[in-house]
Amino acid sequence: MKFSKYGQQFTKPSSLSQIMDDLGDALRSETPVYLLGGGNPARIDKVNEAYLKAYNSLGAGGIGSSAIESITNYSNPQGDAKFIDTLVDFFHRHYDWQLTRDNIALTNGSQNAFFYLFNLFGGQFAADDGETVTKSILLPLAPEYVGYSDVQIDGKHFIAIKPEIEEVTHEGESGFYKYRVDFDALRDLPALKNGEIGAICCSRPTNPTGNVLTDEEIATLVDIAKQYDVPLIIDNAYGEPFPNVIYPNVKLHWDNNTILCFSLSKIGLPGVRTGIVVAHPEVIKAISSMNAVVNLAPTRFGAAVATPLFEDDTLKQLCDDTIKPFYAKNAKRAVDLIKAELGDYPVFIHKPEGAIFLWVWFKDLPITTTELYDRLKAKNTLIVPSEYFYPGLDIEGFPHAYECVRMSIAADEQTLTAGIKVIGEVVRELYDHR
């Protein structure tokens, strides 16, 4: 059977499909698998109790209940109207952005949103002279989210900037580093000067590294985006105000040239597939039109569950008082375990500033972390190798890109302890026998 070029692009093996396949296989395995790969959020009892309460309340009223309403009727293509109005009120309470319902659209998860956005702003454009120009999405700080890599429908149009690596301390300890945006390289980028960039995109906190761009870095990106008349897309899946897994005291930015993307997944609701886009009304209209063609309308069930939790700030309180401290505690536990296992080896950890991962650098590792992935998988331990996280960057001759792993900290204490013990055993053997 022959597929079109479009079909071949989406059916060929990809890093994201491998991650999801391995995650699914692990969940079906009859032997214990230490799941330190994948991006599934933690199951936190207090949070799940709140969701169960909201879910049960949907059924009140029987046949005329909110539950029946949410599953027996389409929304309009922009998304569930009641939830959008609730989000407008929520953002009014917490930010002075002056949003209206025309500034918000829902999608079937944030991955769906990035499929839309990267195809709206990257790919083939008609130039003023009638010619065709190809525009790329600029990622100002690699490594960046693996899920961006394969979503464009006419090829891969990304340009990424290699990070500056700065040695830092964390809670008074050495053995940590932090990525910084190389603004000199960014400003000198020919594609930016030549009008070949359609949008700038960054995640904050960053998946995979947990890096948080400073307010100064965001302000500079805002200025560069306006200078070149392109939107700045900020992936806020792990950021403020929900799930608020972000530790530095930074300000959440939005303006008419900024597109903010949120998700209900990382607050613990990945199964309801609900993404939230805050943007200029022109962008919202485009997303709504794409929703109509691709999905008819976004799913309403996640909106129905979340609406009462946003209305009275229950969700924000859960994020501030339960979700954020949970991951902060797990990050510290994982750091301590890695230090105990590999403290005498050239192993460095990106400063934990947010998200639900640690990014661990095995400097001068004798093999690539893709090979390390295979060795760990054979011992029922899953991580994600670093080579996957560089869309738009030629990593040939950049050894650092082959020496890191993304490790989830969403697992329970037993899984973290056992999984990191396996990692320690395998990595020590590699260093000792190189």
For the entire predicted model, the pTM comes to 0.94
How far is CA 42 from each of CA 46, 265, 413, rounded to the nearest angstrom?
12, 11, 11
- Whole-angstrom distance, CA of residue 341 vs CA of residue 344: 8
pLDDT at 21: 66
Residue whose tokens read 């805002």: 222
Strands 404-408 and 384-385 come out as antiparallel
Sheet holding 347-350, edge to edge: 164-170, 173-180, 347-350, 357-362, 404-408, 384-385
Pick the CATH number of 74-312 from 3.40.640.10, 3.40.50.1980, 3.30.70.2860, 3.20.20.140: 3.40.640.10
How far is CA 105 from each of CA 9, 98, 259, 278, 404, rounded to the nearest angstrom?
27, 16, 11, 7, 36
Give, for 264, the enclosing helix (H) or strand (E).
none
Strands 132-139 and 197-203 come out as parallel
pLDDT at 207: 95
- Which tokens go with 120? 């709206």
Closest CA to 123 of 194, 190, 201, 197: 197
Instruction: Please report, in tens digits, the pLDDT of each residue of the chain (434 residues total).
Output: 888 877 777 777 665 566 666 666 655 556 668 899 888 899 999 999 999 999 888 877 655 556 677 777 878 999 999 999 999 999 999 998 999 999 999 999 999 999 999 999 999 998 777 788 899 999 999 999 998 988 888 777 899 999 999 999 999 999 999 999 999 999 999 999 999 999 999 999 999 999 999 999 999 999 999 999 999 999 999 999 999 999 999 999 999 999 999 999 999 999 999 999 999 999 999 999 999 999 999 989 899 999 999 999 999 999 999 999 999 999 999 999 999 999 999 999 999 999 999 999 999 999 999 999 999 999 999 999 999 999 999 999 999 999 999 999 999 999 999 999 999 999 999 999 87
pLDDT at 168: 97
- Whole-angstrom distance, CA of residue 53 vs CA of residue 415: 29
Show me where the domains of the chain are located.
Answer: 5-46+317-432, 74-312
CATH architecture of 5-46+317-432: 3-Layer(aba) Sandwich (3.40)
Closest CA to 388 of 36, 18, 135: 18
Chain centroid, CA 263 distance in Å = 9
- Whole-angstrom distance, CA of residue 405 vs CA of residue 401: 9
Strands annotated E in 283-397: 347-350, 357-362, 381-382, 384-385
pLDDT at 22: 64
Is it true that 5-46+317-432 and 74-312 share their CATH fold? yes
Closest CA to 401 of 424, 385, 420: 385
pLDDT at 294: 93
Residue whose tokens read 């903010």: 260
Closest CA to 318 of 37, 54, 89, 96: 54
